Structure 1
Amino acid sequence: MAASRSLLSVVLAVCCYAASATVAPSSNASSSGDFLQCLAASVPSQLVITQGSPSFTTVLASSVRNPRFLTPGTVRPLCIVTPTNASHVQAVVLCGRRHGVRVRVRSGGHDYEGLSYRSVRPEVFAVVDLANLRAVRVNRRAATAWVDSGATVGEMYYAVAKADPGLAFPAGLCPTIGVGGHFSGGGIGMMMRKYGLSVDNVLDAVLVDANGRILDKKAMGRDLFWAIRGGGGESFGIVLSWMVRLVPVPRTVTVFSIQKTMDQGAVDAVTKWQTLAPALPEELAIRVIVQNRQAQFQSLYLGTCDQLLPVMSSQFPELGMTRADCREMSWLQSTVYINGAANSTPVELLLNRTTSLSIFTKNKSDYVKQAISKNSWEKIFPWFSGAGAGLIILEPHGGRVGSIADGDTPYPHRAGVLYNIQYVAFWWTTAMDAAPADWIKNVHGFMEPFVSSNPRAAYVNYRDLDIGENAVLASAGVTSYESGKVWGEKYFGAANFRRLALTKGKVDAGDYFRNEQSIPPLVPTK
């Protein structure tokens, strides 16, 4: 069991005024200086860290979760602004619009392609780092909370449960994920079968738009409020804070972690899990990690071990779960335990915002709508063994997350989805080794016959530039809608992507907020 928990820890460690209508075209040294001078009039100097500052590298690295984006040659920002209030964010947008400097926004730094703090192509840009905006304000009576975008998921969990142990929020497992990015992409997690995605529980938000205005739900309107709840980050504005609906949880929940080798029936168990897990009682979530020719079944049950045992023995006897496998604890403690820590680990671990910079990763994703055969799983398992091999994480859907209409939020992977697959390649060198790079490309190709198609779907929070990058129309100076469709329909589906682009055309027609996979503006011709 100790070896199993150690492996799990490694796995989870690798996986948080008015302005002109267009951006000024110049991006030379003069415009950069003008931008910094403009900031100096509205933002305290200690909150603007330029490349010449002794603390620049430290601040940049403070929320970098993948060290391959700190290697030489990475395009770095002109400066990092660390606002402490909304007016500072407004100033960055207004100065950026005026002087031709775009901004990228970082809450937790977990973007799998590092697009919140780096550019793939040479350009002048600034980073708005929201780490100083991370308050969590809980209203127990209303069962709601206002959560700032710079808060981590761990900080949110801790604040909510400390305010009321009977309240919680459905979001992801990694405690260092920033709330802003996590919510912007949807937010899958262990309670989504009971309560839906994170964005299914967002009630309001406060955003700074491309004109530097502060908007709430009422002011931003139906389409923009729809778009920010799952349409991906850095396309529509800078969300400063989110009002969320908190959900009830029992004072005692049950978790287990059971590992099966191929010789112990792992293939049979995973084969059955595919159709069973999405149909189990909504209070029960079981996810699977496949690595080293083994399958690890992790579960969260919103109830006691006595309540869980008969469900498992009658519906999933292949797993062989016994009372000895049960771990009863508070919901808050379960968020620490499932993340790979020991049962006795203090819940204050959730407040730690730092992660290791020794693990280089590359990720991809898929969705499965038809169960993969046992024979096929017998061919899939050997991919996850030996040098250069990584792992996959299977997250069950069904329940509440599957009962919401595909168009209610930009996240379209609802009815008919059995589970999501996350592929993870990781290594411990200072460069992109051929073995993990080839492995994840090859296993992703091998899986193509078994996953969704037309399009082959992907999860925007598992960002993957391999599926497409934006091209900018030189004539218009904005992102091409056709280039965006290549990757956008995989993340959002055709209908949702078009609606996102139309919304972008209404609120940011000049395409100020953009990156390599931002939503392009679509403005219908009259």
Structure 2
Amino acid sequence: MLINCTFDVNASTSTNSSIEAFVNCLSLRPNTSNLITRAIYTTQNASFSSVLQAYVRNLRFNTSSTPKPLAIVTPLEKSHVQATIICARTHALEMRIRSGGHDYEGLSYVSLNPFIILDLFNLRSIDIDLQSDTAWVQTGATVGELYYNIANVSNTRAFPGGVCPTVGVGGHFTGGGYGNMLRKFGLTIDNVIDAEIVDASGTILYRKTMGEDLFWAIGGGGAASFCVVLAWKIRLVQVPEIVTTFNKALALEEGASNLFDQWQHVAPSLDPNLFIRAEASVRLLDTEKSLKKDECKEQSWIQSTIYFYGLPMNSSLEVLLDRVPAMGVLYGKHKSDYIKEPIPKAGLDILWKKMIEVDNTSMQFSPYGGKMNEILETATPFPHRKGNLCKIQYLSYWKENSIEITSRNIEGMKEIHNLMTPYVSKNPREAFLNYRDIDIGTNANKTLAFAIDYFKGNLKRLLKVKAMVDPSNFFRNEQSIPILPIKKHIR
């Protein structure tokens, strides 16, 4: 992100005055036990940079030119969240909400306007009730911490969340997170039964008091458009004591294209207990075609999450508590697509050739079907249900801090994404909110094209909820639900 700025002494003085007034406002707000001053970091604080960078998960948004917040508030209790919202509104400061930092475009910790960050990483308690097979999970917890806590009390309980254990629960849940149990149990939001939130007035609400419209909206519509989620109440699912996993690599010369063609025709209709993800990447392989019995690993569900993440099978469960990704923090770019019809073989040949040319982009194809076919598009704001064969995630990572390398990798991904246009969903070209992609548009120019890609026909109801619960548009970012008249073309 490159920004050209002019220096304005009066603006600087005004900004300093605003942040001083904001901090003073926080210190005057009532709280139950912890002094909020211990949770405030301004640019004058020696720990400011380390707190800011601790949950930056994309180095593209951690450069000298990246806009920095005026302050970071790291709540130690619920009242600190309430105070931050009230004081930010009072002093007209934009607020970004961060619970893990894995948002692909850095929207939870970057803004072009004067802003503060509300970072929820201290609110991470997990309370599991096996009698009711439910749990309350605060949004600052990670998916890995949730899995670890579940495994410590039961080897036959699980939660259908994502593969990456360092992802924060807050954003992952509200965007419609998914993982290896997608086809068996659906999405995270399909297994959320209550939530504790703070609204724009600073009031704490639960499902019963917030109402079904707002509860529906935060379950797949991106809560950062409507409120701050403090905690989710989730439904645990039953899993066998032993599950089976495998990972098989196959080169094009060994028939990988034919195998992928077969996969896309059958994967969505397989038994829901079976999840076979296909991944296409450019690398050197030395493999055989057939899947051998000894390549199938029998292990517990919790061990399978570690294995699927890419760590050794004998890894300690404590690796799930690590908050920094196993591969480290890199530069990256992501996109998404949905496939409704199998890609013809000629199209596959073109795709593989382009991937070899681009070299640094991989594609993950996650099959649908099963439970995803049983849930209506309108049941949650997440509309990508029946009729999809699979979801695609395009990924590109690199280590070098170079404008040239960054540009080459992003442009290479765009080339592959454009090449896929004839083979993916159309009108709209659907996209996954949790694979945030700023290229599809923003709300800055008062258009809704990006939101239609994310939410399809559910956008109309989301707009109504936004206007009802946050008419001043306090909760906002570049791709939040805006305050706009409902246009005729939204159906």
Q: d(CA) in 2 for partners of 1:358 and 1:188? A: 22
Q: Deviations over 1:49-78 (max 9, x none)?
A: 111111111111111111110111111111
Residues of 1 paired with 2:358 and 2:481: CA distance? 38
1:448 is aligned, of 412, 421, 433, to 421
Take 1:419 and 1:390, find their aligned partners in 2: how far apart are those partners?
A: 18
- Counterparts of 2:315 and 2:328 in 1: how far apart (Å)? 22
Query: How many residue pairs are counted as aligned between the two chains?
Result: 467
1:293–1:384 contact (8 Å) kept in structure 2: no
| TM-score using structure 1 length | 0.86
The alpha-carbon distance between structure 1 residues 291 and 100, as it changes in their structure 2 partners (threshold 3 A), is: same
Question: Does structure 1 retain, via aligned residues, the 8 Å contact 2:217–2:223?
Answer: no
Which residue matches 1:215?
205
Is the Cα–Cα contact under 8 Å of residues 289 and 296 in structure 1 kept in the other structure? no
Consecutive unaligned residues of structure 1, counting only runs of 5 or more, are 1-25, 298-317, 473-479
SS in 2 for 1:285: coil
1:367 equivalent among 327, 332, 338:
338
What is the CA distance between 1:296 and its match in structure 2?
12
1:121-162 Cα deviation digits (max 9, x unpaired): 2x1111111110011110011000001101100000110121
Give the superposition deviation at 1:524.
Answer: 7.0
Mark the runs of 5 or more structure 2 residues left unpaired by the alignment.
Answer: 1-12, 30-34
Q: Paired residue for 1:501, among 459, 463, 466?
A: 463
Alpha-carbon distance in 2 for matches of 1:466, 1:512: 24
| Percent of aligned pairs with the same amino acid | 44
Partner of 1:347: 317
Matched, 1:461 2:434: yes
Distance 1:296 1:354, change over 3 A: farther
Q: Does 1:518 align with 2:480?
A: yes
After superposition, the C-alpha distances for 1:282-326 in whole angstroms (9 at most, x for unaligned) are: 1110001111168999xxxxxxxxxxxxxxxxxxxx963221111
Aligned to 1:277: 267
Q: Aligned partner of 2:28: which letter?
A: A
1:286 partner SS: coil
Q: Is the 8 A contact 2:139 2:231 kept in 1?
A: yes
Q: Secondary structure at 1:257's aligned position in 2?
A: coil
- Closer/same/farther in 2, CA of residues 230 and 296 from structure 1, 3 Å limit: farther
Q: Which residue of 1 aligns with 2:115?
A: 125
Distance, in Å, in 1 between the alignment partners of 2:361 and 2:51 is 30
Counterpart selection for 2:59 from 51, 54, 67: 67
Corresponding position of 2:24: 37
- Seen in structure 2, the aligned counterparts of structure 1 residues 288 and 296 have a Cα distance that, compared at 3 Å, is farther
Alignment partner of 1:427 out of 398, 417, 433: 398
Q: Aligned residue for 1:226?
A: 216
Q: Partner residue of 1:476?
A: none
Give me the whole-angstrom Cα distance separating, in 2, the residues matched to 1:503 and 1:470: 17
Match among 455, 459, 473 for residue 492 of structure 1: 455
Separation of aligned partners in 1, 2:42 and 2:265: 53
Report if aligned partners of 1:49, 1:56 keep a CA contact under 8 Å in 2.
yes
State the match for 1:335 in structure 2: 305
Kept in 2, the 8 Å contact 1:66–1:357? The answer is: no
Q: Which residue of 2 aligns with 1:384?
A: 355
Q: Deviations over 1:74-101 (max 9, x none)?
A: 1111111110111000000000111101
Deviations 1:350-386 (A, max 9, x none): 0000135552101111000000012211111123336
Answer whether contact 1:292 1:386 (CA < 8 A) is retained. Answer: no
Which AA in structure 2 matches 1:39?
Answer: L
Match of 1:399 in 2: 370
Give me the whole-angstrom Cα distance separating, in 2, the residues matched to 1:387 and 1:416. Answer: 30
Partner residue in 2 for 1:322 = 292
SS at match of 1:503: helix
Query: Kindly tell me: are residues 460 and 384 of structure 1, through their superposed partners in 2, closer, same or farther at Cα, counting changes over 3 Å?
Result: same
Q: Tell me what 2:135 maps to.
A: 145
1:16 match: none
Instruction: Give the structure 2 partner of residue 289 of structure 1.
Output: 279
Partners in 1 of 2:286 and 2:217 — Cα distance? 35
The whole-number CA distance in structure 2 between the counterparts of 1:332 and 1:176 is 15
Alpha-carbon shift at residue 164 of structure 1 (Å): 1.1
Q: Residue 254 of structure 2 contacts residue 289 of structure 2 at CA under 8 Å; is this kept in 1?
A: no
How far the C-alpha of 1:234 sits from its partner, in A, is 1.2
Q: Kindly indicate whether the alpha-carbon contact (under 8 Å) linking 1:209 and 1:238 is maintained by their aligned counterparts in 2.
A: yes
State the alpha-carbon separation in 1 of the partners of residues 473 and 78 from structure 2. Answer: 22
Aligned ranges for residues 162-241 of structure 1 at < 5 Å? 162-241=152-231
Alpha-carbon distance between aligned partners in 2 of 1:420 and 1:340, rounded to the nearest angstrom: 20
What residue in structure 2 maps to residue 301 of structure 1? none
1:226-259 Cα shifts (integer Å, max 9, x gaps): 0000002410000000000000000000000001
Find the residue that maps to 1:385 and give its secondary structure.
helix
**Structure 1 pair 438–329 and aligned structure 2 pair: CA distance change class (3 A):** same
Give the corresponding residue for 1:88.
Answer: 80
Q: 1:358 to 1:69 in 2, by over 3 A?
A: same
**1:6-59 deviation line (CA, Å, top 9, x unaligned):** xxxxxxxxxxxxxxxxxxxx9733222211111122352221011111111111
**Structure 2 SS opposite 1:259:** coil
8 Å CA contact 1:176, 1:352 repeated in 2 = yes
RMSD between superposed Cα atoms in Å: 1.9
CA 368–496 in structure 1, closer or farther in 2 if over 3 Å, else same: same
Instruction: Give the aligned residue type for 1:398.
Output: G
Secondary structure of 2:121's counterpart equals: helix
Q: Report deviation, 1:523.
A: 6.0
For the residue of structure 2 that corresponds to 1:242, the secondary structure is strand
1:520 to partner: Cα distance: 0.9
SS at match of 1:105: strand
Matching residue of 1:14 = none
Q: Secondary structure at the match of 1:413?
A: coil
Q: Does 1:114 align with 2:84?
A: no
Give the conservation status (yes or no) of the 8 Å contact 2:82–2:198: yes
Deviation string 1:454-480 (CA, Å, 9 cap, x unpaired) is 0111000000000001127xxxxxxx3
TM-score, length basis structure 2: 0.92
Q: 1:485-515 CA distances to partner (integer Å, 9 max, x unpaired)?
A: 110000010x201111110000001100000
